[in-house]
Every structure is written in structure tokens, then in C-alpha cells.
Chains A and B, each alone.
Chain A
Amino acid sequence: KQEVTQIPAALSVPEGENLVLNCSFTDSAIYNLQWFRQDPGKGLTSLLLIQSSQREQTSGRLNASLDKSSGRSTLYIAASQPGDSATYLCAVRRGGNTPLVFGKGTRLSVIA
């Protein structure tokens, strides 16, 4: 059974700092990995999707990397802003038609 772990569970940083969020998964036979952002009481917003054949994806200040063989992904946020404060969730899927398996998330606070 696939298990997804996110470390740390919570993180507080001053504005402007670069930061890294970690995600690990137990079964390396994944199809793709997706990073989401969730604001309190709201739904999920997709940030980046990395196919199993890819090593990284970038969008603006966000960069996600994937090391499938070691079962790890990182989300790098550059020059953090208070508006980045949210919970960041990592999810993997084993096949194209299969549902996502989520970690518990990292709760990020960026202090002005």
C-alpha cells in the first residue's frame, strides 16, 4: 500500500526566505506526482504535476523535483511571501486512471 509522508508538518519562515518542502513515498512505481496548495477551509489548487519520466517542473517561484528511484520529491519556493501561507499537499498516483494518494501536508506560515 502506497504511503506518502511530508516533512515538516509545519514550517514558519520570515518573508523573503527560500524554502524546501519534502515529500516521500514508499512505492516508487508511480505514474505521476502532483503538488497542491490548500487555504484554510478551502479546496485544493494544483501547483505542479510531474510525470514519472520527468525530473522537475517549474512555475514562477515554484520548482518541484522528483527522484522516483529514491521515492522523494521536493517543492522549492523562492523568495517566500505572506501570500504563500497555506498547507502544501503532495500526492502520487500509480496509474493514469487511478486516484491520488495524499500526504498529510506541510502547513507553511510566512511572516511579514
Chain B
Amino acid sequence: DTGVSQDPRHKITKRGQNVTFRCDPISEHNRLYWYRQTLGQGPEFLTYFQNEAQLEKSRLLSDRFSAERPKGSFSTLEIQRTEQGDSAMYLCASSLGPRQETQYFGPGTRLLVL
């Protein structure tokens, strides 16, 4: 257990539905990252927060995806109008900040879109 938690751990939804995932980072970690991992691939970067500011978004993050980190604590990732291609493991990671850059990953949320 790295101290990063994600909820839910598994989500099955029908195409076209909206889903929301939550990530609770290690307390005092000011950086939070979202990644997506499909079977047999390494994780791919989606977006990154420093405190409450969203500093970078990948081109993978279409306009159906939105992420927030209110108050710089937990973060949510919402996918609207889900598609079968959204099926993947969604991973959250946090790090403390400058010179403490090891990223600690949560257990992930596995999404299956039917």
C-alpha cells in the first residue's frame, strides 16, 4: 500500500454513460498525476496538477474528459459519454514536489465500457 487510494476499484458501465473516479493522494503531496493503461501497454499520461492548478493535459484527454482537484487535495476524473475505447485501467499518482520526485501510484480504477 503506497498511501494513494482510488475509488472505485472497478467500474462497469454502458456506452454513453458518464463515470467519475476519485483519487486521494498521500497527504502533503502537492503533485497529482492521472495516467491510463490498456492491456499490455505501459501507462500513458493524461493530466497533471500542482496543488489545485491543472498544469498539463495530454492530447489523449479529449473534451469528454475533465479532471479537477479542488483545494489541492483529492482529485476527480470524469468521463462523459463513455465509449468502448475508454475501457482501461486509470491510475493516479502523487509526488511531494521538487527534489522529492518519486511518483507513488494508487491501485487504479479498472473501467469496462460495454
Q: Could you list which residues of chain A lie within 8 angstroms of chain B, going by C-beta atoms?
A: 4, 32, 34, 36, 41-46, 49, 89, 91, 93, 96-105
Contact = CB atoms under 8 A, between A and B. Distances in A.
Nearest to A100: B103
Nearest to B56: A99
Given A43-B106, A104-B40, 7 more contacts: A34-B103, A44-B43, A44-B93, A89-B43, A96-B98, A96-B101, A97-B55
Interface of B: 2, 4, 6, 31, 33, 35, 40-45, 48, 50, 55-56, 58, 91, 93, 98, 101-108, 110
14 contacts: A41-B110, A43-B4, A44-B91, A44-B93, A45-B2, A46-B2, A89-B42, A89-B43, A99-B35, A99-B58, A100-B43, A101-B45, A102-B43, A104-B42
A34 B102 CA distance: 8
B110 A49 contact: no
Nearest to A48: B102
B91 A102 contact: no
A98 B93 CA distance: 13
3 smallest beta-carbon distances between A and B, as pairs: A102-B42, A99-B45, A44-B105
